[in-house]
């Protein structure tokens, strides 16, 4: 008996979830919840908001898989860049 289709991005979601948890815990405990923690939390939130559409989409696309694999790194880089620009201007 088939209990239904498995999610098509199960591995990518699990990998991104572990990376998010590790980043948040490292930023909370090692970086003392300061400036870098704020940037990490913003990046993780932006990644998961952007991941909603690929997760809910029925069809599998290569660009979705690339985003789920490497999007968190991209969001971290963009968040640190934006934060450095904002703090430099203030």
pLDDT digit string, tens, across residues 27-85: 888 877 778 888 888 899 999 999 998 888 888 888 888 898 999 999 989 988 888 88
Q: How sure is the predictor about 2, in pLDDT bands with cuts at 50, 70 and 90? A: low
pTM more than 0.85: no
Residue among 5, 15, 7 at smallest CA distance from 68: 15
Both tokens assigned to 15: 């990998």
pLDDT, residue 85, reads 82
**Alpha helical stretches, state H, 35-61:** 35-56
Count the neighbouring beta carbons within 10 Å of the beta carbon of residue 26.
Answer: 13
């Amino acid at each position: 008996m088939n209990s239904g289709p498995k999610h098509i991005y199960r591995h990518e979601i699990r990998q991104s979830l572990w990376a998010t948890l590790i980043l948040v815990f490292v930023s909370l405990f090692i970086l003392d919840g300061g400036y870098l923690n704020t940037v990490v939390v913003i990046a993780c939130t932006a990644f998961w908001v952007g991941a909603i559409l690929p997760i809910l989409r029925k069809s599998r696309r290569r660009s979705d898989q690339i985003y789920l694999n490497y999007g968190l790194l991209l969001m971290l880089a963009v968040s640190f860049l934006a934060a450095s620009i904002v703090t430099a201007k203030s």
